[in-house]
Amino acid sequence: MSTKNIQMVDVRGQYLNIKEEIDKGIQEVIDSCAFINGPKVKEFQANLESYLDVKHVIPCANGTDALQIALMALDLKVGDEVIVPAFTYVATAEVIALLGLTPVMVDVDLDTFNVTADIIKSALTGKTKVVVPVHLFGQVTGEMDEIMQLAKEHNFYVIEDNAQAIGANYAHDNGNISKSGTIGHIGSTSFYPSKNLGCYGDGGALYTNDEALAKMLRKIANHGQAKKYHHDVIGCNSRLDAIQAAILDVKLKRLDQYCDARETAASYYDNQLKDIEGINIPKRESKSTHVFHQYTLRETTGRRDELKEYLKEKGVPSMVYYPVPLYKQEAFKHYAPNIKLEATEQLCKEVISLPIHTEMNHEMQDVIIEVVKSFYE
């Protein structure tokens, strides 16, 4: 098989398999001319609430807006501290800074890429008001029970950044199962096209089981109003349009199938790559399923960039998520001028993600695997 058909994510291939339903849904919106807050948005909202087993879903314009609206709903003050992993996409910390809050950047576990309760506990101060665990690459932060207990003891909110893990399940210590993003006070997600549940433009959502928070989130996302032209708080304009909702509703019915396909591909990679000296395959959290938004290896011989270039030469795409710690980014240096987080800095030098998506097959993976193996021969 040629490498020319290998992509990091195959949005087009997935679309072609559900084209009839997608096109029908889009056409129904166009025929109705109900583009904003129409029936399709309400239908998708209800279906996502049912899927997540959560009381309230608040659709919005994108994942970054979701994080910002979540913070805006918590009555925070300038200078309040929000704990966030330094090994994450910039949006998680960006919204904290935009609101005049203080991002407190912490390390992650070297193997799971997620924060731990002990890491959070060591960063708590009297100014800590929020913690944002990021369920990175597709699995829930493994110590969510412990983090929620810390939240009770120290009186802070938990906002789950669930942009990469929608569909994952978390097993609580008491035996109950929760969907990712429904454990904290607020969950947020992105429907960017490459996400496991992705639309064909921008989109996002918040979810919560708290009635009062849900009312505030809806209000903020709608110019601060619950009643038209009566603005109770400062808000923003953040809506999921009906065409994107129609697309997402078609895909939502297949989300578990999509997650299973990614997990199958990841397991195949694991079995073929686990014995290569110089590569660490992804470690799975014991209390979470993994939906593999990314399949991320650690290259431990100091040749990550060489491997990436070699893959490129052979026609195999790869990505580095993320090459620079947040606290070393120019925009954030003044928040943490003297810190060095060992695991974060090591991961930024080691991580490399291989192609993984719902349309992947073993023939395609075999080509990728052989290229990786040949690098180490």
Tens-place pLDDT, residues 42-99: 999 999 999 999 999 999 999 999 999 999 999 999 999 999 999 999 999 999 999 9
243: tokens are 């065409």
Q: Is the dihedral of CA 261, 209, 75, 335 positive or negative?
A: negative
Q: Tell me the C-alpha distance between 12 and 9, whole Å.
A: 9
Q: What is the pLDDT of residues 181-205, one digit of tens each?
A: 999 999 999 999 999 999 999 999 9
131: tokens are 């913690």
Domains contained in the chain, CATH given: 12-252 (3.40.640.10), 255-375 (3.90.1150.10)
Q: Which strand (E) or helix (H) includes residue 189?
A: strand 186-190
Which residues make Cβ contacts (< 8 Å) with residue 74, sequence separation at least 6? Answer: 129, 130, 157
Q: What is the pLDDT of residues 100-159, one digit of tens each?
A: 999 999 999 999 999 999 999 999 999 999 999 999 999 999 999 999 999 999 999 999
Q: Tell me the C-alpha distance between 108 and 148, whole Å.
A: 17
Q: Tell me the C-alpha distance between 33 and 29, whole Å.
A: 6
Q: Are 245 and 252 in contact (CB under 8 A)?
A: no
pTM: 0.97
Question: Is pLDDT above 80 for 3?
Answer: no
pLDDT band of 1, cuts 50, 70, 90: low
- Which 3 state secondary structure label does DSSP give 209? coil
- Which 3 state secondary structure label does DSSP give 128? strand
* Number of residues assigned to the chain: 377
C-alpha separations of 12 from 2, 181, 184, 357 in Å: 18, 27, 34, 11
